[in-house]
């Protein structure tokens, strides 16, 4: 659909991820390492789940029957979500175990990064890689002159794909924060909730092309997760009000820096 | 722990390698949701000569336009003036493919391409995209030779010609021949692009993209200069255009020593000639039934009729049969043969030539007369005049015996476009051109895609199997057989043969019927298969024996199915079959014979009796002679004397149909994207600068994380 749509969808899908990367990750080499390693872990989970999908399709002789194809798709999505969460947990364990090594290579004595920050970066890594894999294929096809629709699909395909990718990227970030917090405090119900929400979002995407049924609920879940992640990473309503009132009391700043 | 990690990674790698060996599971990419690729496209390509470029061109990345079907005058007005979604890609009904509409499209900036529906419904009474005066600058008539007859002053040979083939279009023009494909396009148009109650259709609209980017521009001189530069200075030279070239087929009743070029002593030759090629507006589409096939079939049948008599009672002179390739493009084949004859590089030279009989368009006779055209200017030479008069008298006496009415047109009429004109440019040779038209062509579809079997009235009763159709003698076959008998007897007489043998020379209508079937309906038939080499017969679909009638456009050589054009191959092997003798050489002996001076050896499949047959070696005096314009040998790319036609090269020619969205939606997407990006940059900056405040209770000393 030409260059305008290409750039529009690219900005929609990767705008927030780009902004987060530029303002929070880029200056700290440790965070870059954790980000890339997180992306790699997501990639590993995708590799394994695609192998399972491959074998499943081959085993069912190519899945020519549409209902069987749909069933296989649902199974594939379910399995992929579970694998992603397993790898998130694995990454958590790895990061905890690697604390010593990371402390050794950092400039100052001890680690300059907290688990909460690692959680955020890991989640962002997962989100960026997930977004890239969802969107790059579609972006390259959006460069041509045609738009989706000649076989009856909706013509808003590119925009909704970009919006979905945006939501997923942010969702992965928030899930990372909440998940690691849950693992730290050994609150297993938190982990279960994250997995359940991830499954719910994946299931909602299966409702496409009924975009009204998939996008608004996903954005609702994203807002919910944003709030949850805010509170679980140390934010509080007191801080928010302090933020607003701080504007009228600039001199309190030096108090916080002790 | 480390070893286990290594093991896991090794297993992962093994799994990956195994997985890579599997073929793709189900590649349902987004591209398949968007585009419908059209197979079997028939484009119009760019041809260049010394001064001009003709044909069609698309832009490098294809031309896109909103589809509109041109069925009525309202549609024309919509496309050119009032439609709100220019540029348009026109799907043109047959009736609208004429000069006035195409020139209006050419001058409009709202047309991005044309797809012409090629069908018989709505076909006009006549349609010839060729010029009114074919080959007018490379014939014999010029300022120096018969100026009052030059440039078709006396007779416009093709008065119905609209010259479309010689226009230069800056948009692609494709032909839609496949009915199923046309249906796909129509359905897309009806679903999305129809006007409801006179108001414009809403987005998304159905659009089509045509790719036919041609690499050559301006003219042959420019193109060859650029190709030379590429060849000299580039590591990966890119050729931009190729000269049109192929091979002439020649044979003689008495074998000639092909290794000794130049004048042959005591050899006087009567040339019997016809053309091998045709053309149309579109590339590689030229059924050329009346224009070319009638001549080829007549001459081949005459060859077959003459063969036994010339072996038993050889006439005084040799009879030299030749089929000239490339005559539609300023006489490529005949100019090359004359050029070689002049420089003693051909098996005979011009002193050996006694006279010439050329067979023009003879297919639309059907009860009407035949005409013998001659060149009035050459009559100034008395010996030529006497010889031509004698030829005409002899032919008329033969025709009287055959109940054919043969006459000569008005004396001051020039020769029609024919290969004889190239011979006359060099030397006054007595010659005649046999044709079914007295003045202008009777052929209403000269050099167009509609000059097919139906134009010649060749049709078969239904419920005949292909083998039965092969031997079914249509009216046209019988008519052409009569002409072939006339030609054969006249040639025998012209060559000094005895009168008493004339009645033994008769063309076989069955051979004519088989030739007509093979050249007009289906080239993959049992007779053609039996006289072609075994490797061609076995290749199947990807060889010169693909399904359907052959196409007569000369093309550029070499091709992926062989160095020689399919029609040239057919004529060569048919001549070998009709005039050759079977030898008992083995395959290796046949392909490496002891002496190739007098004869050529052909390894052919042979007749298959009940599905099996033994290949055999046929010896015949049939040769191929290269037919490329002398302008390219002399490197005079701007020559006015010789043909300078070249065909441009291209990378890809394809077409696809898809939907396009409105400009507003695209801009909206871009706007939303930019807004999201800016907003997220702002918010992230704000939050990250206030991060210490917002996430203050997350401040932990590093030691507590252990």
Q: Report pLDDT digits (tens) over B39-64.
A: 888 999 999 999 999 999 999 999 99
Q: How far apart are the first and last CA of chain A?
A: 55
Does residue B546 register a pLDDT over 50? yes
Nearest CA in chain A to B693: A239
pLDDT in tens, B581-591: 999 999 999 99
The CA–CA distances, whole Å, from B280 to B181, B364, B447 equal: 22, 19, 5
Q: Write down the pTM of the prediction.
A: 0.88
Model confidence band, residue B283 (pLDDT cutoffs 50, 70, 90): very high
B30 C-beta neighbours (distance < 10 Å), count: 19
Answer yes or no: do A19 and B680 touch at CB < 8 A: yes
Q: Which chain A residue has its CA at the smallest distance from B18's CA?
A: A51
Nearest by CB: A148 against B34, B668, B697? B34
Tell me how close the Cα of B186 comes to any Cα of chain A, in angstroms: 13
- Write the pLDDT tens digit of every residue in B207-258: 999 999 999 999 999 999 999 999 999 999 999 999 999 999 999 999 999 9
Exposed / middle / buried, residue B6 (Cβ in 10 Å: 0-12, 13-18, 19+):
exposed
A242-256, B93-107, B205-219, B599-613: segment of lowest average pLDDT = A242-256
State the smallest CA–CA distance between residue A224 and chain B in angstroms: 18
CB contact under 8 A, A146 and B25: no
> pLDDT of B432-474, one tens digit each?
999 999 999 999 999 999 999 999 999 999 999 999 999 999 9
Q: A58: distance to nearest CA of chain B, Å? A: 7
- Interface confidence (ipTM) of the complex: 0.91
Please give, one letter per residue, the 3-state secondary structure of B569-618.
HHHHHHHHHHHCEEECCCHHHHHCCCCCCCCEEEEECCCCECCECCCEEE
Distances (CA, A) of B567 to B23, B448, B553, B573, B574: 41, 18, 9, 10, 10
Say which of B19, B36, B684 has its CB closest to residue A51.
B19
Q: Give the model's pLDDT for residue A17.
A: 96
State the nearest Cα–Cα gap between A9 and chain B, in angstroms.
6
Do B449 and B282 contact (CB within 8 A), yes or no?
Answer: yes
Q: Are A234 and B204 inside 8 Å of each other by CB?
A: no
Q: How far is CA A97 from CA A92, A102, A170, in A?
A: 9, 10, 26
pLDDT, position B6: 61
Alpha helix (H) ranges present in B645-700?
663-689, 691-694
CB contact under 8 A, A11 and B674: yes
Mean pLDDT of chain B: 90
Q: In chain A, which residues have their Cβ closer than 8 Å to the Cβ of B705?
A: 99, 111, 114-115
Q: Name chain B contacts of A15, Cβ cutoff 8 Å.
A: 673, 676-677, 679-681
Classify residue B698 as exposed, middle or buried by CB count within 10 Å of its CB (0-12, 13-18, 19+): middle
Q: Scan for tokens 């959680």, then name that residue.
A: A119
Mutation target for A interface from B18, B201, B705: give the one with most A CBs within 10 A: B705
Residue of A nearest to B17 (CA): A51
Q: How far apart are CA B346 and CA B349, in angstroms?
A: 7
Size of interface A-B (CB pairs under 8 A): 178
pLDDT of residue A68: 85
Q: Using the predicted structure, report yes or no on whether residue B516 has a pLDDT greater than 90.
A: yes
Higher pLDDT pick, A107 / B689: B689
Does B13 have pLDDT greater than 60?
Answer: no
B656 pLDDT more than 50: yes
CB-CB under 8 Å, B670 with A243:
no
- Comparing B62-66, B266-270, B328-332, B399-403, which segment has the lowest mean pLDDT? B399-403
pLDDT at position A238, please? 81
Cα nearest neighbour of B692 on chain A: A256
Q: What number is the average pLDDT over the span B409-420?
A: 91
Reported as a pLDDT band with limits 50, 70 and 90, residue B611 is low
Closest approach of A199 to chain B, Cα-based (Å): 24
Contacts of residue A234 in chain B, CB cutoff 8 Å? 695-699
A151, A181 contact by CB (below 8 A): no
- Give the other-Cβ count within 10 Å of B543's Cβ: 17
Most B CBs within 10 Å, among A41, A90, A145, A155, to test the B interface:
A145
* Contacts of A79 by beta carbon, 8 Å cutoff, 6+ apart: A49, A52, A53
Measured CA to CA, the distance from residue B580 to residue B600 in angstroms comes to 9
B147-169: average pLDDT: 94
CB spacing of A150 vs B657 below 8 angstroms: yes
Contacts of A9 in chain B (CB under 8 A): 669, 673
Is the Cβ pair B673, A11 closer than 8 Å?
Answer: yes
Asked whether the beta carbons of residue A4 and residue B659 sit closer than 8 angstroms, the reply is no
| A31: nearest Cα among A132, A124, A152, A131 | A124
> Which among A5, A23, A115 is the nearest to B685, CB-wise?
A23
Q: What is the pLDDT of residue A207?
A: 80
Give me the pLDDT at residue B706, please. Answer: 39
Residue B25's pLDDT is what?
41
Which residues from chain A sit within 8 angstroms of residue B661, using beta carbons? 1, 5, 147, 155
- Please state which of the ranges A27-36, B323-332, B687-696 shows the lowest mean pLDDT: B687-696
Report in angstroms the alpha-carbon separations of B172 from B40, B63, B110, B209: 15, 8, 13, 10
Is it the case that residue A213 has pLDDT exceeding 70? yes
CB contact under 8 A, B696 and A239: yes
Query: Do residue B25 and residue A58 have CB atoms under 8 angstroms apart?
Result: yes
Taking the CA of residue A103 and the nearest CA in chain B, the distance in Å comes to 10
> Least CA distance to B187: which residue of chain A?
A150
User: Of B31, B666, B677, which has the smallest distance from its Cβ to A11's Cβ?
Assistant: B677
pLDDT interval class at A214 (50, 70, 90): confident
Alpha-carbon Rg for chain A, nearest whole angstrom, is 20
Query: Nearest CB to B673: which of A10, A240, A246?
Result: A10
pLDDT given at position B403? 85
Q: Which of B186, B684, B687 best tests the A interface by mutation, with the highest count of A CBs <10 A?
A: B684
* Contact at CB, B684 and A151, closer than 8 angstroms: no
pLDDT at site B704: 40
Q: Quick one: pLDDT band at residue B698, thresholds 50, 70, 90?
A: very low
Q: Which residues of A touch B667 (CB under 8 A)?
A: 4
- Residue from B4, B11, B694 to probe the interface with A (highest A Cβ count within 10 Å): B694
What is the per-residue pLDDT across A150-190, written as a single tens digit (0 to 9) for each?
Answer: 988 888 899 999 999 999 999 999 999 999 999 999 989 99
Q: Which residues of A touch B2 (CB under 8 A)?
A: none
pLDDT recorded at residue B22: 42
CB B427 within 8 A of CB B350: yes
- pLDDT at B567 > cutoff 90: yes
């Amino acid at each position: 659909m030409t260059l305008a749509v290409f750039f529009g969808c690219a900005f929609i899908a990767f705008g927030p991820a780009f902004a987060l990367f530029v303002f929070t990750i880029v200056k700290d080499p440790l965070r870059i390492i954790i980000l890339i390693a997180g992306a790699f872990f997501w990639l590993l989970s995708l590799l394994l789940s695609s192998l399972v999908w491959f074998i499943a399709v081959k085993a069912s002789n190519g899945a020519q029957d549409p209902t069987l194809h749909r069933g296989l798709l649902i199974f594939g999505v379910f399995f992929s979500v579970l694998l992603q969460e397993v790898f998130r947990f694995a990454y958590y364990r790895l990061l905890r175990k690697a604390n010593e090594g990371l402390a050794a290579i950092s400039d100052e004595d001890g680690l300059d990064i907290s688990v909460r920050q690692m959680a955020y970066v890991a989640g962002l890594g997962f989100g960026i890689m997930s977004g890239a894999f969802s969107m790059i294929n579609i972006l390259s096809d959006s460069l041509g002159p045609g738009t989706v629709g000649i076989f009856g699909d909706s013509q808003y395909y590119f925009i909704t794909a970009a919006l979905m990718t945006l939501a997923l990227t942010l969702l992965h970030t928030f899930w990372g924060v909440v998940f690691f917090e849950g693992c730290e405090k050994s609150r297993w119900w938190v982990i279960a909730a994250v997995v359940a929400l991830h499954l719910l979002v994946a299931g909602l995407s299966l409702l496409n092309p009924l975009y009204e049924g998939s996008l608004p609920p996903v954005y609702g879940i994203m807002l919910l997760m944003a709030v949850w992640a805010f509170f679980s990473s140390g934010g509080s309503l007191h801080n928010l009000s302090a933020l607003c009132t701080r504007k009228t009391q600039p001199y309190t700043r030096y108090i916080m820096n002790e | 722990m480390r070893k286990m990690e290594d093991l896991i990674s090794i297993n992962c790698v093994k799994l990956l390698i195994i997985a890579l060996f599997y073929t793709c599971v189900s590649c349902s990419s987004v591209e398949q949701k968007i585009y419908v690729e059209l197979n079997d496209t028939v484009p119009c390509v760019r041809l260049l000569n010394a001064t001009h470029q003709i044909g069609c061109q698309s832009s490098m990345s294809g031309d896109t336009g909103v589809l509109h079907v041109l069925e009525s005058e309202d549609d024309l007005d919509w496309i050119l003036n009032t439609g709100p979604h220019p540029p348009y890609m026109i799907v043109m009904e047959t009736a609208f493919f004429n000069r006035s509409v195409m020139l209006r499209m050419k001058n409009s900036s709202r047309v991005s391409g044309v797809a012409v529906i090629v069908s018989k419904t709505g076909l006009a009474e006549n349609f010839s995209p060729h010029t009114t005066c074919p080959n007018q600058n490379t014939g014999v008539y010029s300022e120096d030779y018969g100026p009052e007859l030059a440039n078709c002053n006396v007779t416009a040979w093709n008065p119905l010609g609209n010259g479309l083939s010689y226009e230069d279009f800056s948009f692609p023009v494709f032909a839609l021949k496949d009915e199923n494909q046309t249906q796909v396009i129509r359905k897309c148009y009806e679903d999305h692009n129809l006007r409801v109650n006179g108001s414009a259709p809403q987005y998304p609209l159905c659009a089509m993209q045509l790719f036919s980017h041609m690499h050559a521009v301006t003219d042959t001189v420019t193109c060859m200069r650029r190709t030379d530069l590429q060849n000299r200075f580039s590591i990966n030279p890119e050729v931009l255009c190729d000269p049109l070239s192929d091979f002439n087929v020649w044979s003689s009743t008495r074998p000639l020593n092909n290794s000794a070029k130049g004048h042959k002593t005591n050899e006087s030759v009567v040339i019997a000639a016809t053309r091998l090629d045709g053309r149309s507006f579109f590339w590689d589409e030229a059924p050329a039934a009346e224009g070319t096939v009638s001549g080829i079939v007549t001459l081949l049948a005459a060859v077959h009729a003459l063969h036994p008599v010339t072996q038993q009672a050889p006439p005084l002179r040799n009879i030299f049969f030749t089929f000239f390739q490339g005559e539609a493009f300023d006489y490529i084949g005949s100019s090359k043969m004359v050029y070689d004859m002049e420089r003693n590089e051909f098996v005979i030279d011009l002193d050996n030539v006694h006279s010439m009989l050329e067979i023009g368009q003879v297919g639309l006779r059907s009860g009407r007369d035949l005409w013998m055209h001659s060149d009035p200017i050459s009559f100034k030479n008395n010996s030529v005049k006497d010889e031509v008069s004698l030829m005409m008298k002899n032919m008329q006496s033969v025709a009287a015996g055959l109940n054919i009415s043969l006459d000569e047109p008005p004396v001051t009429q020039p020769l029609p476009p024919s290969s004889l004109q190239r011979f006359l440019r060099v030397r006054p040779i007595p010659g005649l051109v046999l044709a079914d038209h007295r003045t202008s062509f009777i052929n209403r579809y000269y050099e167009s895609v509609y000059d097919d079997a139906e134009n010649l009235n060749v049709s078969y009763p239904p419920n005949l199997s292909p083998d039965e159709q092969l031997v079914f003698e249509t009216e046209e076959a019988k008519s052409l057989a009569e002409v072939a008998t006339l030609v054969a007897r006249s040639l025998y007489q012209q060559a000094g043969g005895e009168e008493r043998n004339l009645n033994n020379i008769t063309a076989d209508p069955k051979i004519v019927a088989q030739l007509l079937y093979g050249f007009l309906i289906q080239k993959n038939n049992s007779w053609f298969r039996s006289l072609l080499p075994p490797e061609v017969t076995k290749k199947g679909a990807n060889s010169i024996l693909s399904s359907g009638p052959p196409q007569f456009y000369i093309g550029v050589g070499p091709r992926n199915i062989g160095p020689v054009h399919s029609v040239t191959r057919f004529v060569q092997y048919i001549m070998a079959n009709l005039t050759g003798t079977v030898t008992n050489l083995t395959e290796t002996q046949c392909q490496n014979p002891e002496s190739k001076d007098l004869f050529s050896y052909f390894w052919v499949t042979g007749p298959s009796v009940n599905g099996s047959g033994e290949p055999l070696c046929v010896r015949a005096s049939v040769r191929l002679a290269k037919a490329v314009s002398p302008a390219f040998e002399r490197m005079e790319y701007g020559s006015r004397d010789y043909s300078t036609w070249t065909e441009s090269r291209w990378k890809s020619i394809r077409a696809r149909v898809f939907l396009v969205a409105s400009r507003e939606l695209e801009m909206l997407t871009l706007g939303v994207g930019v807004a999201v990006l800016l907003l997220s940059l702002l918010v992230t900056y704000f939050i990250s600068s206030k991060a210490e405040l917002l996430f203050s209770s997350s401040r932990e000393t590093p030691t507590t994380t252990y």
